[in-house]
Structure formats: C-alpha cells, structure tokens
A and B are shown apart, each in its own frame.
Chain A
Amino acid sequence: MPAAGHEPAQHDVALKVSNVYKVFGKRPAEVIKRLRGGKKRAELTALGTAAVIDASFEVKKGEIFVVMGLSGSGKSTLIRTLNGLWAPTEGSVVVGGTDISKISEKELRRVRQQKISMVFQHFALMPHRTVMENAAYALEVQGVAKIERRARAEKILALVGLEGWGEKYPSELSGGMQQRVGLARALCAETDILLMDEAFSALDPLIRREMQEQLVLLQSELEKTIIFITHDLNEAMFLGDRIAVMRDGEIVQIGTPDEILTSPANDYVAQFVQDVDRTRVLTAGGVMEPPLAVVNLSGGPRNALRTMRDLQVSAAFVVDRRRNYLGTVRDRDVMKQVEAHSSDLGAVVRNSIEAVSPDTALNDLFGRAVESPIPLPVVDDAGRLVGALPRVTLLAALGNVPSTTSEFPIVDVAVAPLPEQVVTDALAKTEGDA
C-alpha cells in the first residue's frame, strides 16, 4: 500500500521545498510563466530577475544538506526562502510540517523562533552587545527569563569552545571566534534546523577547516538538520551528506558527494568537480573493488592454495563462514602447511595488515597502501570483508579512470606468487589429505 509506505518517509523529512520560484522585479508572475514556457532566465532580465527557478528537494532529519553554487547562482536567495526572509514568488516551503509560505507574519516569527535558526556569512553579531547577550539573543526573543538565558547560553558557549568569553564584545574576538558566537546563537535557539549561509567563507582556510570539523562533530552530537550554503566544492564535499549543485537559479544535480564526483549530471557539474581534492571526498567504500582472492578458513590450506594458484596471486584474505575478516595468508606459508599435511589454515593467518573502514577518505590510505605488500582489506562495521583496495585502484580514483578492471587479479604482485607447476605438484602429492 503506497500510503503506508509513505508515512514513515514523511516523518523523516525536516524540510521540504516544492517548485519554489523567487523572482525579483516588476512582473514576477510573467517571468515564471515564460520560464515554464521554456525561456531562459537571461532572456527575461527586462521583466525581472529569476533568482531561484523551480527548486524542489527534501532534507531529511539529521542530514547535512549542502547547496553549492557560484555567486549569482541563487543559493543565498534560496536559503532565505527556507525561513521566510524572502517569501517565494511561487511554490511551497514546508518546515517541520508547516507550510511557511501560507502563514501570517506572527506565525512565521514563531516558526523562526522554534524550528529554524540561521548562521550568517559575516557573522551578523550585534556589536553593541556582549558575546553572552549575542548567544542568548534567540532566547531573549522567545521570552526566556534572564537567568535561564544566561545559563543556557553559557552551556552552548562552552560547547563551541568559547568558555569564559561571554563578557567580551564581538569586536574583541577573531573572525573564527565571532563565527563560533554566531553558531552558538543559532544552537541556543534549540531549533531542529540550522541554516548556514556561507558560514565559513569569510574565515581563513585553517580556521575554516577547524570549524568544518567542529560542525561535523557537533552535528553528530546534537543531531541537528543542517542546510549549508557554500561556493567551495571542497567544503561541500567534506560536509555534505547530500549536495545540491545550483547554477543560474536552477538546481542541476542533487546527490551524495560520491555521486556528484563520479557521475556528474552535466558538463557544468563535471567542470566544477574537476578541481576538487578527490582524495578527501572519495572513500574506501566508494572506490573499493570486490575481493577475489578470498579463502575460507574452514576450507583448509589445500583449498586456499588452489585458489591462489588459480588467481596467480601470492596472498589471499581469510574469512570465516559469515565472511568476517580474519587476516591474510601467504602462498609460501600455506604451501608449507600443505606439505606438512596439516589441515589448519588458522596457524598461518597473519594480522599485520590493518583493515580499513569503508568511510575512510582516500587521503588517509595512501601511506598504508604504500607500506602494505598486498591490497588493503575493506571491512565494514560488522567486521565483514566487503572489498579490497589495491594501489592501482587508489591511483585510478585520482584520475577518475574507471578502475574496475577484472583483468587484474585483485591482489597485486608485490611478492611473486609460487610457480604454478610447483603448487600443482605439491597439491597432487598430498591428494589424500583433502
């Protein structure tokens, strides 16, 4: 039943934007009509400027949704329609179940107080008020008593790393610290949704990086829904669970960072992602290959040796029956076991190579890949072997070359495998052990 299937999905949606248009100028309705008729926005500048054209998306609860575009792409206008700072010319914006394009000013103020807060590009702090008073501003507007307001603001200031700065004025703080106050002010409102308009763009690169990391940390702790606007693709890729790419007022693609990077919807997006630092965006899980040289512990040394011979590899991953990753074996070690007529493969399993989680960025893997004689095993949270990362795959990912070539045995040849004939002979000699 479709209705039943829809229910939980609706429940997960924090914010829903449907067919939103925002047109500035003399004749907005006419502009929308012509846009729908297939005209481009550049042809309609005489009638008005279409800042946002037919934007539709849903943001799930607890998600970091990034809207990325260059200046003039309409992203700042779009974010301002989400809390009603701009009323959409057409379309609806549903925040936590309330369509804010249909409510009165007073109700809209209540939505802003309770459901959705905002962090600004240039911090937008009140220079005549202390850090504490700035942080507690939302509470003041909500009518919270002064003592409680102070207590709550103090807690949030500590959370963003500004403990003890409450009595200073914003002008006494560095840019990064000022934006922490901006963040504290938004967090203090205790709304589920946080809008961040180029929140880190005015900061130095090092501070920006630090703030991005802190935001991700805070988000995982507080489980806020964050809608983040940026023109910096690296930032988008780092923060975003999903990214919407905007161009000339239109959303041209929505997808996970991996999807945007590996299958751009059009040339524009492709060109855009050219410059991105792929190693920070792509994860082990995104580029890994199916592990072929896998042997089962309970299969015993003879099976393992046969598998390695067939694949022409010198080592293999060892898993148990539920595919839990146990370690690696080398063909020479297994050969010895076979020759000794032992059926215990476990004795020769090595654990020198640390498994990699699928979420690890490639950036963190190069060092390990260089040191490891065999591909890095990729193991999920449950401990199961889900893939392998040969060095060649890492390299291919950087150049965006399709790397899934089953031509390569997935274990690359750091140590030459035993000659096939030798293995076959050994297996034949010990035929009776199987």
Chain B
Amino acid sequence: MEPKFRIPLGDWVEVGLDWLTGTFDVVFDAIRSIFVGAYDGLDWLLTAPPFWAIIIIFAAIAWWASGWKLGVGTAISFALIVGVNQWENAMDTLALVTIATVVAVVISVPLGIWAASSDRASSIIRPVLDFMQTMPAMVYLIPALVMFRVGVVPGIIATIIFAMAPGVRFTELGIRGVDKEVVEAGYAFGSSPSRILRQIQLPLARPTIMAGINQVIMLSLSMVVIAGMVGAGGLGGDIVAALNRIDAGLGFEAGIAVVILAIFLDRVTASFGKSSSSGRSKEA
C-alpha cells in the first residue's frame, strides 16, 4: 500500500544532481580528464615495464621500509599474482588506489589540521565525516556515475570520498594529542603558529597521521573492488564478473591478488609511521 505522505528526499537529491551536472558540466569534464590522465600515466608506468622489473622494485621498497622478510615475501606473493594471470589487473588497481589515496591524503590532512586548530571547524567536519563513512559505499557510485560517466573516474571519486574520513580524524586526533606544554613552550619562545605546526605539531603527530594514511589506503583498496562495478576495471572488474558468472575460481584468484596488494601497502606504510625515530635525524 502506498503511504499517503512521503518526504520526497530522493527527488530533491535528483533535482540537485541534475542542476549540478547541468551547471558545472565543464568543471566535471576538467576533473574527469585530469583523473583519466593521471590514471593512464601511472598505469602505463606500472604495466609498460616487464613484470619482473616492477616486482624487483616493490621488493626493494619493502626491504628498505621494513626488512628482508617483507622484501622476500613481496617478491614471492607478487610472483603469485603473475602466476594467476592477474598482473595487469593488479597494476590497474594499484594505480587506482594510489591516485585515490594521494588525493584523499592531500585533502584530508589539511582538513584534519584545520579541525584540530578550531573547535568550531571540528564540530562542522565531524558529522560530515560520519555521513561519508557510514553511507553505504556503493551509493557514492551513483552520483559519481552521473557526473563523470562510466570508467575509472567515478570509481576514483567514490573511493576518495569513502576513504578520506580516517585521514581527517587521525590527523585531528594526532595534533590534538601533542603534549600541550610543548606547544605552549613553542608559543612562550615567540614562535608563530605556522612554525609550531611545522616544527612541533606535525612531527609529533606523525605516527598518528601515518596510521590514518594507512587506514585511507586500506579503505581505498576495499572500495576499489566496488568501483569495478562502474567499469573502473582492475581486480574489481574481474571480481564483479566472477560474481555475475558465479565463477568461484576467478573470484578467488582476483581476491587473493587484492589481499596481497593490501598486505604489501599496509606493511610498507605502517613501517613509515613507526620509523619516526630514524626519521628525526633527517628532519633536524
């Protein structure tokens, strides 16, 4: 039975979206071409060289960041990806995640700094973040599709929105958690707020901020699979295809590649957060 009274929230959203796409068509096109360009460039960088060259580079990064165990593990597990014929898909996904993460970090860290510096900003940003994190991720795909058409771009945009929240939250938390007396000492010796941010707050909040960035990457990876639904390709594309055909084998092969990428990215970025003690001599 149709209810007699209904708030037409959905209609309003659609009208708003129509107006947005109609008015800012040029802007969306520009954004679209920037993202397509960035994605194609990065993807070419990852897929053009022979796979073994890329594996060596990644193993070296893992070795340098964490140790020989992760280096060797990276080499073996990436070889496995090649073995199940998911290499190109994995590199597509990595390019997608990288771009989404970079953009999300570039937006979220300054937002976090702003939220930490002002209680009012914090009280505005907080509910927005709650909204972004709890709205079912696939819902973002719909307006993104309308605005940017099928392809990688709606996937990247939806990923950015979905993955941004922990970046903002951890940055705010990290900066607010810096010993108040140390910040006070900065002021007491006549430092400007920007100097205190650069020399005291950000360095001391770094482990927390890095944990946030790590979370951004993990969320990006999980979203990227969903982005496969709108033609973002990569591992997500294969997983969606496997789902449609109920092909457990293909689904598992693509799935294990996602897991391998996730573990690699997580361990490498986590070790950046921890290495603050060796990093401090560089800052000095």
Contact = CB atoms under 8 A, between A and B. Distances in A.
Interface in A400-419: none
Contacts of A121: 181
Given A109-B191, A109-B192, A127-B204, A120 B184 contact: yes
Given A128-B204, A130-B284, A138 B189 contact: yes
Contacts of A85: 184, 187-188
Interface class of chain B by DSSP: helix
A124 B199 CA distance: 14
Interface in B178-194: 179, 181-182, 184-185, 187-192
Nearest to B279: A128
A126 B189 contact: no
B203 to A, nearest CB: 5
A141 B187 contact: no
Interface string A106-143: 00011111100110111111111110010001100110
Given A128-B203, A128-B204, A189 B189 contact: yes
A196 to B, nearest CB: 11
B189 A117 contact: yes
Contacts of A391: none
Contact of B185 (A120, A128, A133, A142): A120
B130 interface: no
Chain A interface size range: 20 to 34
B77 interface: no
A22 interface: no
B189 A113 contact: yes
B195 interface: yes
Contacts of A137: 185, 189
A109 B193 CA distance: 10
Contacts of A110: 190
B93 to A, nearest CB: 36
Contact of A141 (B184, B195, B284): B195
A124 B283 contact: no
A241 to B, nearest CB: 23
Nearest to A84: B187
A112 B188 contact: yes
A302 interface: no
B280 interface: yes
B175 to A, nearest CB: 15
A252 B176 CA distance: 36
B279 to A, nearest CB: 9
B197 interface: no
A138 B190 CA distance: 8
A141 B190 contact: yes
A83 interface: yes
A123 B179 CA distance: 11
B200 interface: yes
B222 interface: no
B179 A124 contact: yes
A210 to B, nearest CB: 23
A113 B284 CA distance: 21
B276 interface: yes
A133 B199 CA distance: 12
Given A122-B181, A128-B203, A185 B284 contact: no
Nearest to A113: B190
Contact of A118 (B185, B199, B203, B284): B185
Given A118-B185, A128-B203, A142 B284 contact: no
B181 A112 contact: no
B198 to A, nearest CB: 12
Contacts of B280: 128-129, 169
Contacts of B284: 128-130, 133
B194 to A, nearest CB: 12
Contacts of B184: 80, 85, 120, 124
A334 B220 CA distance: 104
B190 A142 contact: yes
B191 A141 contact: yes
A112 B182 CA distance: 15
Interface in A79-97: 80, 83, 85
Nearest to A114: B190
Contacts of A128: 203-204, 276, 280, 283-284
A126 B182 contact: yes
A133 B200 CA distance: 13
A67 B190 CA distance: 24
Given A120-B181, A189-B189, A126 B200 contact: yes
A136 to B, nearest CB: 11
A213 B190 CA distance: 29
A85 B189 CA distance: 11
A83 B181 contact: no
Contacts of A126: 182, 185, 199-200, 203-204
A111 B195 CA distance: 17
Contacts of B204: 126-128
A124 B192 contact: no
Given A109-B190, A141-B190, A185-B189, 4 more contacts: A109-B191, A112-B187, A112-B189, A129-B284
| 3 closest residue pairs by CB, A with B | A113-B190, A112-B190, A124-B185
11 contacts: A85-B187, A112-B187, A112-B189, A122-B181, A127-B204, A128-B276, A128-B284, A141-B191, A142-B190, A169-B280, A185-B189
